[in-house]
């Protein structure tokens, strides 16, 4: 393989290849997937001169370490974390040059959960249904990174963005999710809907790329039994038998039989991707 490649030195807890996903295939049972914090992925791509659709690496909690075979321009963004090149401190949130053979160390997130690493040219793994994203639920796309994995890089197509650094809003202290009730809000009692709109929940440690699981008051059902399986969308708030809501994220299933009490605005889901376990969550109903 040419010098336009990376070797994984340390894979971290969960590092995957992600782009903006593969929308448009739900009718055949394939979800969108893609970066959980798409704005962070867009920012790091801009910093290295990539189109926003280029594939990046999404790390979870403890980062990763990589060795490029040739010199490459890199940007690390998303959750703030220490960055080192061959043991020397380097900048987070800006384009930097990593020499051939040097080790780029993306450290553990200081705040938030998921950091994003862009390389000039993008991660050039084989696309599946038009996307290079790893979908953990379906198994489509490249497998999560492991030590000694070699990732090809594409040709450099642009120049770094016109700014030296780029702001990032940071993970939320309180995650506010704007929700539109329906389509199955009539399966819940009036008090249950008021509970969802007025009580605080917290992010559960059981959350993952499939869904943001919440701890807090259970929602009382007005209708017993279960639904036939029906389509699920990004941001759907599904309520399983224990009554605790689950907010579906990028790797969500395309169908499900538990009732959906509402749908969260897609614009709020990037913050959900960075909310650490224990973060308070409030739902705000709207139109």
Instruction: Note the pTM of the prediction, 2 decimals.
Output: 0.94
Distances (CA, A) of 86 to 97, 98, 104, 270: 12, 9, 7, 31
pLDDT in tens, 28-76: 888 899 999 999 999 999 999 999 999 999 999 999 999 999 999 999 9
- List of residues 6+ apart from 282 with CB closer than 8 A: 174, 175, 176, 177, 200, 201
Token pair, residue 227, equals 């639904």
DSSP secondary structure letters along 40-78: HHHHHHHHHT--TTS-EEEEESS-EEEEESS-EEEEEEE
* Cα–Cα distance, 48 to 51 (Å, whole number): 9
Determine the Cα–Cα distance for residues 10 and 215; give it in Å rounded to an integer: 33
> What domains, with CATH codes, occur in the chain?
5-152 (no CATH), 175-285 (2.40.100.10)
Handedness of CA 118, 120, 121, 124 (dihedral sign): negative
pLDDT tens digits, one per residue of 150-179: 999 999 987 776 665 556 777 889 999 999
Looking at the chain, the whole-number percentage of residues with pLDDT higher than 70 is 97
């Amino acid at each position: 393989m040419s010098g336009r490649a990376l070797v994984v030195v340390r894979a971290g807890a969960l590092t995957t290849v992600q782009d903006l996903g593969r929308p448009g295939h739900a009718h055949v049972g394939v979800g969108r997937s893609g970066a959980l914090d798409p704005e962070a992925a867009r920012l790091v791509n801009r910093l290295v001169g990539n189109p926003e659709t280029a594939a990046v690496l999404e790390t979870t909690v403890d980062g990763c370490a990589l060795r490029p075979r040739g010199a490459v321009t890199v940007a690390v963004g998303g959750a703030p974390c220490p960055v080192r090149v061959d043991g020397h401190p380097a900048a987070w949130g800006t384009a930097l040059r990593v020499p051939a053979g040097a080790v780029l160390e993306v450290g553990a997130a200081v705040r938030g959960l998921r950091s994003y690493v862009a390389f000039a040219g993008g991660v050039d793994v084989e696309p599946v249904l038009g996307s290079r994203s790893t979908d953990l639920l379906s198994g489509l796309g490249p497998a999560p990174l492991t030590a000694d994995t070699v990732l090809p890089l594409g040709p450099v197509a642009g120049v770094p963005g016109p700014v030296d650094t780029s702001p990032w809003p940071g993970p939320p202290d309180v995650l506010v999710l704007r929700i539109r009730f329906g389509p199955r809000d009539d399966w819940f009692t009036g008090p249950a809907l008021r509970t969802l709109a007025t009580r605080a929940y917290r992010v559960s440690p059981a959350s993952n790329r499939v869904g943001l699981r919440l701890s807090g008051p259970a929602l009382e059902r007005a209708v017993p039994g279960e639904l036939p399986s029906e389509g699920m969308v990004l941001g759907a708030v599904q309520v399983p038998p224990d009554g605790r809501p689950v907010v579906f994220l990028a790797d969500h299933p395309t169908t499900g039989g538990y009732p959906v009490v509402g749908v969260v605005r897609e614009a709020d889901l990037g913050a959900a991707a960075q909310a650490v376990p224990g973060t308070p969550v409030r739902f705000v109903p709207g139109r």
